[in-house]
Structure 1
Amino acid sequence: MMPADIVLNTHAIAVLLLTALALFLFTRDWLPLESSSLFVLAALATGFQLFPFSSDGKTLHAVDFFSGFGHEALVAVTALMIIGHALARTGALEPVGRALTRLWEVSPQLSFLLTLIVGAVLSAFVNNVPIVILLLPILTSVSLRMKTSASRILMPMGFATLIGGMGTTIGTSTNLLVVSVAVSMGMNPFSMFEFILPVALSSLIAIMYLWLVAPKMLPDRASELGDTSPRIFSAALNINQDGFSDGKTVEEIIEQTDKQIKIQYVKRAGSDALTVPSRQLTLKQDDQLLLSDSPENLKAYEKLLDADLYSSDQKIDDDHPLQAEGQQLAEIIIAQGSPLLNTTVAKTRFADRYQLVVLALHRSGTQSRQAVADIDNTQLQVGDVLLVQGASETIADLKQQGKILVLDATSHIPHSEKAPLALMIMITVVAIAALGILPIAISAVCGVLLLALTNCLGWKDMAQAVNAQIILIVAASLALGFAMLETGAADAMAAGFVNLTAGMSVTMQLSGLMLLMAVMTNIVSNNAAAVIGTPIAIGIANQLGMPLEPFVLAVLFGANMSYATPMAYKTNLLVMTVGGYTFNDFLKVGIPLTIIMWLSLSFLIPVFYPIG
């Protein structure tokens, strides 16, 4: 039962209902996160405009909900995304990558430990996406050369970068948001390294778990060939005129492949309809067989059936010959900042632009009919992998450009003469903020300006680095947090939490709040969990008469524990795709890691921030 002085008004109830709806929509795959975020903003602004809210003689203006777009934390997050992208594009982290590659050949076990530590340390200052993109091809390459399984080391590496990001106020967008919201509500600002000691101590246990235990819990899914992998790709085989398959029945096609081919659908010439084929169906010119298989099997079927493994929209000519000498298969992963993200193969005119032919598409999870049937017009998302074919020189050039992540055994790290300058700009941005000369939002914006003036990164590249999804989810989350605070909904939820945990010690209440945030962050956006949880944490601290800092840190740490599900954080999706992991793999490794971090930080927070 809520305390008598906490009354839920109509607006507070509406905000709580909208918050529940928002958290539900944020987890729906059928609705883009950008759309659900924009819906939240529109609903808040429209609702409070039509039904004004006043408290203590002060009226809440509906346009105030758009202030999140100009929030200091969002400015800092966006600027740091651009700087991190510049480090990846210029190859500023190349020396780290080369050193790790050499060490793996000397002592794989110790090198793996060092890789985890380096990934964690770098992620305390740089967004972990470029760190993961740097390490993915390195670890994949060394595992192929040493005939070991990359799937045993990629997930621990990804988790190590998430752990490291917890250590400073700029390590993740979640940290920046929590600290900014808490300061705006009256808490004293944290210094950049304010809470690095408790994170470092808990990270020691977590890194040992990721080094010694986690690899034994993960499946062995090593690939046997350098340019292929066990990933399953959706592809289309086009029936050629007068080829073997022209005029043959589906049963004859199956027999020709020694009953190995598994045709999911047939797309008849001149039709967009998909049909499940009967064995008696006769195929003709320009029909398409839609199937899913490994790259090597797809290429084998292409040869056996005298069919073409490419979209009919991609013309094969002298510029992109499919059968010429020196051709290679390669896998291109769609990462954040990729020019292919949120567009299609057709719209980018991929074959003309990159001189490569797209053969197939891999997407983690359940394939939709559209993804299987129309690769050219399927919107690409983070974690997708394109199987492409082209001249080895073309693939090598693509890797050297550094704009697109190519996954194969010969992957190179991009490098340019601007790399030292980009690294120096990043170090300067962090140092100025750490010394308290300028806030991180201002120093990071100045850093972006320097990147532009020194031509380390063009404005077009900066636009690609900015993630519209993050901008919208941050703005929507800030608006929700603002509405909860102004209407009293946050105080009501804080009172409910205090009453539910009334028989517990303050330490147990603190631990319970952190666990609640850890569960929430693996279901909805980590930024949403952080921004919504921060006002509640401050309300709990105020009602208990305790310092704000430990409760704010409980939200910050809990919202960063994105280990248990692949959708919890974008780097989890990248690692899932490359390592071939399943949802259960994340549960199996991520839940124990969450428990380790939760228990250790539940002990350490009261040690560094006494709560009586």
Structure 2
Amino acid sequence: MDNTGVTFDQVLTLFVLVAVVAALIWDKMRSDVVALSGAAVLLIAGVVRPIDVQSAFASPAIIALASLFVIAYALELSGLLDRAIEAAVKMCKRLGSAGIWLMLGAIGVASCFLNSTPIVVLGAPVVRDVATALKLPPKRYLMPLSYITVLTGCCTLIGTSTNLLVDDMARNAGQPRFGIFEITPVGLPIALAGAIYLFLFSGKLMRGSIADDSPVPDRRDVDVPNAQVGDPTLFAEQRVFQPAKAAIAFAVFVGTVAVAAAGIAPIAASAFAGAVLLILLRVITADEAYGGLRPQILILIAGMVVIGLAMEQSGLAATATGALVGSMQEFGPLTALIVLYGVTMVLTELLSNATVAVLVTPIAVALAESLGVSPRPFLVAVMMAGSAAFATPFGYQTNVIVYQMGGYRYMDFVKVGLPLNLITFAVAIMAIPVFFPF
């Protein structure tokens, strides 16, 4: 690369990046197709090589996500999740409003280890129906359901695709991998602060909307963008409980997490082995496993990884860092961390979390290296801010689900979500330097 000026590869990568971002905001074309189109242009132009595209589709983040999707689908097919929901309904009928909040907490714990989208697709109709049966407004609980699953997803490496993707992109930039619970000391206080705020204030902030008796559609009327989520009907069907399969699926899931947490094998390896084991033990058939993969998300991520590699290899990430935050050197790493978190959070409201993770991670690494400090705190900031999409109903796929199911107004998300953004921002900036020193 020519260090004396801007290269053709940098100009083309920037053009493709702007075009992809514009197309994603325009939202008239499937986001996975947009990402693949950008990757194809970069491949044809020679900015990335075929082996780079191959590595993107075979990246550990893709393998881990695909395998975790299969394990989660096996748990669903066994009827275990439906049983858990039935138990939650009984508890709520006994305890009333407090029971619903306990159920939201339990769903949040599950979201630490399972993808939040199927959990919300499963749990939202239950929360709605239980609230209705108790003569409580469903709107009071559906938005907190989405927010809580996002917050708790930030507590572990496998809680959200954002964390896995940042870890993968950081590894490509020469950084060591994150442990499965390494980010928990930061994610947990953020989740607790967010949950307390939602419990105390979300009802007051939504008072006007709660008083409006808007019709609440049935779960099958929920229109979730296929490009981001996959087919929600996969997770909406009532399953017959099969104790043996449920026990095996749950044991494999716990074993997968334990092996990764103990450092015996990376999460990609343990999850892949767990998914294959479930097929070999006939807990889930190969065809069912393919059905639960949700390829739209995997292809979107792979396409964006290619664009992220182009940013790094062309030098665009380093150039952008110099142009955007060159002045940060006079203020020090803490100010740079605050700016990076803020920019990432704003971008996440406009784009998918996977897109933002891929675009910002190389910049975070280059920024830390330019300041002569550890990239670790900056990577954790991208993980947290990359999922902190609370102020619009379209920033995160679970928001879309409850937005339509609850009959919310757009401004409901602004009223409740914007303070939540600011609270999580403040807690993150206080916690990150403590547990991940510069």
CA contact (8 A) 1:425 1:447 kept: yes
Structure 2 match to 1:578: 405
Structure 2 match to 1:175: 163
Is 1:484 the counterpart of 2:311 in the alignment? yes
Q: Which residue, 190, 210, 215 being the options, matches 1:230?
A: 215
Q: 1:520 to 1:581 in 2, by over 3 A?
A: same
Q: 1:27 to 1:458 in 2, by over 3 A?
A: farther
Question: Which residue type is aligned with residue 203 of structure 2?
Answer: P
1:139 deviates by 1.0
Point out the structure with max Rg over C-alpha: 1
**Aligned counterparts of 1:535 and 1:181: Cα–Cα separation in 2:** 7
CA contact (8 A) 2:76 2:235 kept: no
1:418-433 superposed matches below 5 A: 418-433=245-260
Q: Which residue, 51, 58, 68 being the options, matches 1:80?
A: 68
Q: Which residue, 133, 144, 147 being the options, matches 1:159?
A: 147
Structure 2 match to 1:332: 220
1:85-96 superposed matches below 5 A: 85-96=73-84
Is 1:494 the counterpart of 2:321 in the alignment? yes
Q: Which residue, 289, 292, 312 being the options, matches 1:465?
A: 292
Structure 2 match to 1:40: 38
Deviations 1:301-320 (A, max 9, x none): xxxxxxxxxxxxxxxxxxxx
Q: 1:214 to 1:80 in 2, by over 3 A?
A: same
Question: Which residue type is aligned with residue 241 of structure 2?
Answer: H
Structure 2 match to 1:405: 236
Structure 2: give runs of 5+ residues left out of the alignment. none
**Aligned counterparts of 2:400 and 2:247: Cα–Cα separation in 1:** 30
Q: Secondary structure at the match of 2:220?
A: strand
Q: Which residue, 413, 416, 420 being the options, matches 2:242?
A: 416
Q: 1:76 to 1:382 in 2, by over 3 A?
A: closer
1:201-240 superposed matches below 5 A: 201-218=189-206, 219-220=209-210, 230-231=215-216
**Aligned counterparts of 2:407 and 2:6: Cα–Cα separation in 1:** 48
CA contact (8 A) 2:100 2:127 kept: no
Q: 1:331 to 1:567 in 2, by over 3 A?
A: closer
1:178 deviates by 0.5
Structure 2 match to 1:17: 15
Structure 2 match to 1:514: 341
Is 1:597 the counterpart of 2:427 in the alignment? no
Deviations 1:426-445 (A, max 9, x none): 11111111111111111111
1:215 deviates by 2.2
Structure 2 match to 1:365: none
CA contact (8 A) 2:16 2:38 kept: yes
Question: Which residue type is aligned with residue 310 of structure 2?
Answer: A
CA contact (8 A) 1:383 1:577 kept: no
Q: 1:331 to 1:97 in 2, by over 3 A?
A: closer
CA contact (8 A) 1:422 1:456 kept: yes
Structure 2 match to 1:65: 53
Counting matched residue pairs gives 434
Structure 1 match to 2:273: 446
**Aligned counterparts of 1:101 and 1:546: Cα–Cα separation in 2:** 50
**Aligned counterparts of 1:582 and 1:143: Cα–Cα separation in 2:** 19
Q: After the TM superposition, which of the residue ranges 154-163 and 94-103 deviates more from structure 2?
A: 94-103
Which of 1 and 2 has higher RCO (CA within 8 Å, sep 6+)?
2
**Aligned counterparts of 1:105 and 1:492: Cα–Cα separation in 2:** 58
**Aligned counterparts of 1:103 and 1:384: Cα–Cα separation in 2:** 30
Structure 2 match to 1:141: 129
| Percent of pairs with identical residues | 30
Structure 1 match to 2:177: 189
1:565 deviates by 2.1
Structure with higher strand content: 1
1:17 deviates by 1.9
Deviations 1:281-322 (A, max 9, x none): xxxxxxxxxxxxxxxxxxxxxxxxxxxxxxxxxxxxxxxxxx
CA contact (8 A) 2:231 2:294 kept: no
What value does the CA root-mean-square deviation take over the aligned residues? 2.6
1:368-387 superposed matches below 5 A: none
Q: After the TM superposition, which of the residue ranges 465-474 and 546-555 deviates more from structure 2?
A: 465-474
CA contact (8 A) 2:122 2:235 kept: no
CA contact (8 A) 1:34 1:468 kept: no
**Aligned counterparts of 2:41 and 2:203: Cα–Cα separation in 1:** 46
Structure 1: give runs of 5+ residues left out of the alignment. 54-59, 224-228, 233-329, 343-379, 386-401, 407-411
TM-score, normalization: structure 1?
A: 0.67
1:599 deviates by 1.0
**Aligned counterparts of 1:582 and 1:384: Cα–Cα separation in 2:** 24
Structure 2 match to 1:256: none
CA contact (8 A) 2:222 2:404 kept: no
Q: Secondary structure at the match of 2:25?
A: coil
